[in-house]
C-alpha cells in the first residue's frame, strides 16, 4: 500500500506480465566451414569484435557448440535465418540453431 498526505491509500499493482521468452542462438561445429568464415559470421551478424569472434569460434570448434547471443524470439529467428542464408550463399555447411533459455 502507498499512503499519501491526504490519507489516500493505493494498493500497489504488481505487474502481471511475464518477461518475454528468450532464446540462445548457437553455432554448431562441422569439419568443412573455414574458421575465418565463422569469425566473419560472428562479427557480421552478432556484432562481435574480431577477438571475441575468434574466442567463440574456437570454443565451437573444440566443444562442438557455442552460444552467439541471447535474444527475443523474433530476433533469434532472424539471426538463424541470416546465418543460414549467408552460409548457403557461400556454400558452407555451417549450422545455426536456437533454443529457449
Residues forming contacts to ligand TYC in the complex (CB under 6 A) are 27-31, 33-35, 38, 57, 60-61, 94
The smaller minimum CB distance to ligand TYC, of residues 57 and 71, is found at 57
Name the residue with cell 535474444: 71
The smaller minimum CB distance to ligand TYC, of residues 35 and 85, is found at 35
The smaller minimum CB distance to ligand TYC, of residues 22 and 35, is found at 35
Could you count the other beta carbons within 10 Å of the beta carbon of residue 45? Answer: 18
d(CA 5, CA 7): 5
Q: Provide the minimum distance between the beta carbon of 52 and ligand TYC in the complex, in angstroms, as a whole number.
A: 14
Phi/psi at 99 (5° precision):
-150, 135
Amino acid at each position: 500500500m502507498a499512503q499519501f498526505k491526504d490519507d489516500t491509500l493505493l494498493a500497489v499493482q504488481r505487474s502481471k506480465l511475464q518477461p518475454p521468452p528468450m532464446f540462445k542462438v548457437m553455432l554448431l561445429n562441422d569439419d568443412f566451414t573455414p574458421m575465418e568464415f565463422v569469425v566473419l559470421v560472428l562479427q557480421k551478424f552478432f556484432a562481435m569484435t574480431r577477438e571475441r569472434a575468434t574466442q567463440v569460434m574456437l570454443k565451437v570448434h573444440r566443444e562442438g557448440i557455442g552460444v552467439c547471443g541471447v535474444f527475443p524470439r523474433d530476433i533469434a529467428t532472424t539471426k538463424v535465418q541470416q546465418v543460414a542464408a549467408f552460409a548457403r550463399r557461400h556454400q558452407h555447411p555451417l549450422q545455426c540453431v536456437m533454443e529457449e533459455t
